[in-house]
Amino acid sequence: MNEFKYIRAADRSEAVSQVSNNAQAKFLGGGTNLIDLIKENVEKPSVLVDVSRLQLKSIRKTNGGGVSIGATAKNSETANHPLIRENYPLLSQAILSGASQQIRNMATNGGNLLQRTRCFYFYDTAMRCNKREPGSGCDALEGLNNYSAVLGWNEKCVATHPSDMCVALSALDAVVKVVNKDGKERSIQFADFHRLPENIPEKDNNLNEGELITSIEIPKSNFAKNSYYLKVRDRTSYAFALVSVAAALEMNGQTIKQARIALGGVAHKPWRAFEAEKILANAKAGDAIFTKAAEAALKDAKALEHNAYKIELAKRAIVRALKKAVDGGIA
């Protein structure tokens, strides 16, 4: 862990200007990932700008009938908020499947979106990693890739995005609100927020330099009654997903009016299964159509040496999550 300067930002404009003016500066939210990365010398900021006390904590209804969750509200507070539990139980469930109560009490919503991969090779500075050190190579590609991506990866990076919350937000078509140093705000559709590695695996998302997440808006939807977040892992709790599925359905009797499926643990970003969603739309719920959707979702999957199991696991998880969602989810 290097030495750094600590600034507690008084307001968001101070926060943004501090980080915008210094390439070595980083926002600090709950710190649950960043402090760990600094300890590992993966991140070496010269300045930490603490944004966790900024008044970006509110969780409230939006004019459009959706809900806005503040960037500095804690994960556990968000999962337990009545607005979320009633309208987006999928999000509550996804958040609560991640990490531990202690970590969810610390982690901010904005910070959750900015979590970095837990790939062994990213975390170990003795190893080659294009994400950590652009151009150095990817040691996971032919190494211990048991937990690596099966979708959207390339030879530059096979890392997965570790968040559970983001998988639900992806399924719910959330919008990320950000502000830059000029005070200019912009909205980023969740599907466009995180990236695939392509030629710049070091870049996890499409935030511009110095942009600060202020809130996440979740549009009004009718998924509350039929949604489910399913997470498969190596132990029952306090482990990252091998595969996770956020399934949200809007039902009309036994017919699916609209479906959303997002996958975690399989790609560099939360993975929306748009084709599978199309297959399910206006179809009658049932095992056959679920299997068809699952096949479509993993159609382009490519396994590495040690992670072929994830493809089959993801298909089965999709089918199960859809069944659970039809059966009334957890609401």
Partner 1 sequence: MCENFPTYIAEEFQEPLTEDEAALLSADDLTKLGKSRRDFLGKATLVAVAAQLLLHDQAFALKFMSDAPVTNNAVSELALTVKMTINGAEKSVVIEPNVTLLDALRERLQMFGTKKGCDHGQCGACTVIIDGRRVLSCLTLAIQAEGQSITTIEGLAKGTQLHPMQEAFITHDGFQCGYCTPGQICSAVALLDEAKRGEISYVSTNISKKPATSLSDDEIRERMSGNLCRCGAYPHIVEAIKEVLGGKAEVKS
Partner 2 sequence: MSGLLGKPTKRIDGRAKVTGAATYAAEFPVKNAAHGYIVTSTIAKGKILAIDAKTAEKANGVLKVFTHENAPKLAFTDPKDKDNIGMDGKPFRPLQTNEIVFNLQPIALVVAETFEQARFAASLVKVNYQPETASTDFDKARITAVPARAKVEKPRGNPTEAFQNAPVKIEAEYEIPIEHHNPMEMHGAIAVWENGELTLFDKTQWVNNVKGHLASVFGIDPKKVKVISPFVGGAFGASLRPNYYPLLTALAARELNRPVKLNYTRRQMFTGHGYRPHTWQKVKISAEKNGKLTAIIHEAIGNTSTYENYTEDPASVSKSLYACPNVETIYKLAKLDLPTPLYMRAPGAVTGMFALECALDELAFELKIDPLELRLINYAEKDPDNGKPFSSKELRECYKQAAAKFGWAKRNPIPRSMRDGSFLVGWGMASGTWGAYQDPSLAKVILNVDGTVLIQAAASDMGPGTYTTIALIAADTLGLPLEKVKFELGNSEFPATPVHGGSMTTASVGTAVQNTAKTILKKLTAMADAPFKNAAEKDLVFENGKISLKSNPSLVVSLTDILRKNNLTKIEETGQGAPDKIRDNYSIASHGAQFVEVKVDEDFGTVKVSRVVEMTASGRIMNPLAAHSQEIGGAVWGIGMALMEATLIDHRYGRMMNNNLAGYHIPVNADIHDIHTGFVEENDTIVNALGIKGMGELGMVGVPAAIANAVFHATGKRIRKLPITPDKLI
Q: Are 284 and 254 in contact (CB under 8 A)?
A: yes
The interface partner of residue 32, options being partner 1, partner 2, none and the CB cut-off 5 to 8 Å by kind, is: partner 1
Residue 317 is a binding residue for partner 2 (CB under 8 A): yes
Going residue by residue from 235 to 274, which x/- string records binding to partner 1, judged by CB under 8 A? Answer: -xxx------------------------------------
Nearer to partner 1, 21 or 102 (CB): 102
Q: Least Å distance between CB 44 and partner 1?
A: 11
Q: Report the C-alpha gap between 51 and 28 in whole angstroms.
A: 6
Residue 55 is a binding residue for partner 1 (CB under 8 A): no
- Binding residue for partner 2 (CB under 8 A) from 202, 275, 295, 312? 312
Contacts of residue 318, Cβ cutoff 8 Å, sequence gap at least 6 = 245, 247, 261, 263, 273, 276, 290, 293, 294, 297
Binding piece for partner 2, criterion CB under 8 A, among 55-63, 228-236, 253-261, 291-299: 228-236
Sign of CA dihedral 266, 269, 272, 274: negative
> What length is written for the chain?
331
Strands 67-70 and 212-218: antiparallel
DSSP run (H or E) holding 11: none
SS3 82: helix
Residue 118 is a binding residue for partner 2 (CB under 8 A): yes
Q: Report the C-alpha gap between 138 and 285 in whole angstroms.
A: 42
3-state secondary structure 115-148: CCCCCHHHHCCCCCCCCCCCCCCCCCCCCCCCCC
Residue 301 is a binding residue for partner 2 (CB under 8 A): no
Nearer to partner 2, 181 or 324 (CB): 324
Nearer to partner 2, 3 or 209 (CB): 3
Q: Are 150 and 314 in contact (CB under 8 A)?
A: yes
Taking the CA atoms of residue 187, residue 190, residue 191 and residue 193 in that order, the dihedral angle to the nearest 10 degrees is: 70
**Token output for 14:** 């101070």
- Binding residue for partner 2 (CB under 8 A) from 88, 190, 228, 240? 240
Residue 80 is a binding residue for partner 2 (CB under 8 A): no
Contacts of residue 306, Cβ cutoff 8 Å, sequence gap at least 6 = 144, 145, 146, 148
- Binding residue for partner 2 (CB under 8 A) from 55, 82, 236, 253? 236
Nearer to partner 1, 24 or 199 (CB): 24
Residue 294 is a binding residue for partner 2 (CB under 8 A): no
Residue 4 is a binding residue for partner 1 (CB under 8 A): yes
Interface contacts to partner 1, rule CB under 8 A: 1-6, 8, 28, 30-32, 35-36, 38-40, 48, 50, 52, 74, 76, 79-80, 85-86, 89, 92-93, 96-97, 99-103, 105-106, 224, 231, 236-238, 330-331
Interface contacts to partner 2, rule CB under 8 A: 1-3, 39, 41, 118, 120-121, 124, 126-127, 139, 142-144, 146, 232, 234-240, 242, 309, 312-313, 316-317, 319-320
